[in-house]
Amino acid sequence: MDKAKEALRQKQSQAPIIQLKGVTKRFGAVTAVDHIDLDIYPGELFCLLGGSGSGKSTLLRMLSGFETPSEGQIIIDGVDMAGVEPYERPVNMMFQSYALFPHMTVFDNVAYGLRRMKFSKAEVHAQVAELLHMVQLDDYAKRKPHQLSGGQRQRVALARALARRPKLLLLDEPLGALDKKLREETQFELVKIQEQSGVTFVVVTHDQEEAMTLADRIGVMDRGRIVQIGEPRDIYEYPGSRFVADFIGSVNLFDCSIGEEGEDFTILDSEDLKGSIRVGHGISGAPGSDVSYAIRPEKIALNRDSENADNEFSGIIEDVAYMGNWSLYRVRLDCGCILKVSQANLKRQDQTNLTWDDRVFASWSDTAGVVLPS
């Protein structure tokens, strides 16, 4: 077991800091959040990942107190939050637009939350200085928000939200407004600050890459429900449903039915592929029942000659997209269906030199794919 997993186990051995019990939110006839049960542990960095309309933002707004659940209970650090106003909750939020007060300086923005508590002037001063130091904005205290760059604004928003030492920090698409380069730097920065401060973070995002790099655990949301909770690697490698497999990363999906079963393998018969797939483990499910088979593009190898692999299908390369560090191939298999295959460009000169209209064999091992309920 690696170090990260060990740390996570330790966090989860404590009592949960947030408990959601059957939380539901309806807007008129629309159910935005549908009976969610969820425990989040102290010190965790939890990501809610979902598309627009999946209910992730509504869930966040219920935690911060801007929306009240239609049903269910939200318990934060043992206290039921029903009827507790946003300004009375031990929760702070970093808004997607940052929502910095445009008429106040950086210092006053960060101090705003502290001044609502009973702190002396000197204490406020000291704490703001410390926070600005943490986000490396020591020299910007007197600036107004419009005099800052996007990345600097984001850091002010983070410092402001952490000022009251909340038990829980909510972050709504924290990196959404930054450009790609800045995002990558900021991701690691954010994780570092989270670890330093020890505050529990709940991040809402629609960006799977962001979720993958930030989170201890990810909750994937779809139509108001959490469809899978797990660590980033597990969610990617062992998706629990077609939706999760398809939503996170790129995937080839085939409809199959369970065929011959052996001691340590199963054969799936695929109508799509006009052939069969060998899976290197047993499957719970009666022979003949329908399942889906998911295989990630990077798990497939392309060769000019047959390798006699566990699973091998021949076809013709229809399209190649060169992406720099890797290339994406669209292979038209003999059965007529399309297979997405990605290959890392490890060398400058690609020996195989596969290109349009080349006849190839696509192969993968019997442990590379995942069998999902159809």
Q: Which is nearer to other proteins, 166 or 239 (CB)?
A: 166
Q: Which is nearer to other proteins, 119 or 236 (CB)?
A: 119
Tell me which of 1, 52, 87, 324 binds other proteins, using CB under 8 A. Answer: 87
Q: Does 282 bind other proteins (CB under 8 A)?
A: no
Q: Does 322 bind other proteins (CB under 8 A)?
A: no
Q: Does 112 bind other proteins (CB under 8 A)?
A: yes
Least Cβ distance, residue 206 to other proteins (angstroms): 17
Count of residues of this chain found to bind other proteins when the rule CB under 8 A is applied: 33
| Contact letters for other proteins, residues 28-67 (x by CB under 8 A) | ------------------------------------xxx-
Stretch that binds other proteins, among 86-94, 129-137, 225-233, 248-256 (CB under 8 A): 86-94
Tell me which of 21, 95, 314, 320 binds other proteins, using CB under 8 A. Answer: 95
Q: Which is nearer to other proteins, 87 or 322 (CB)?
A: 87
Q: Does 119 bind other proteins (CB under 8 A)?
A: no
Least Cβ distance, residue 112 to other proteins (angstroms): 5
Stretch that binds other proteins, among 27-35, 161-169, 288-296, 339-347 (CB under 8 A): 161-169
3-state secondary structure the chain: CCHHHHHHHHHHCCCCCEEEEEEEEEECCEEEEEEEEEEECCCCEEEEEECCCCCHHHHHHHHHCCCCCCEEEEEECCEECCCCCHHHCCEEEECCCCCCCCCCCHHHHHHHHHHCCCCCHHHHHHHHHHHHHHCCCHHHCCCCHHHCCHHHHHHHHHHHHHCCCCCEEEEECCCCCCCHHHHHHHHHHHHHHHHHHCCEEEEEECCHHHHHHHCCEEEEEECCEEEEEECHHHHHHCCCCHHHHHHCCCCEEEEEEEEEECCCCEEEEECCCCEEEEECCCCCCCCCCEEEEEECHHHCEEECCCCCCCEEEEEEEEEEEECCCEEEEEEEECCCCEEEEEEECCCCCCCCCCCCCCEEEEEECCCCCEEEEC
Tell me which of 103, 121, 180, 348 binds other proteins, using CB under 8 A. Answer: 103
Q: Does 288 bind other proteins (CB under 8 A)?
A: no
Residues at the site binding other proteins, with contacts judged by CB under 8 A: 64-66, 85-88, 91-93, 95-97, 99-103, 112-113, 116-117, 144, 146-151, 160-161, 163-164
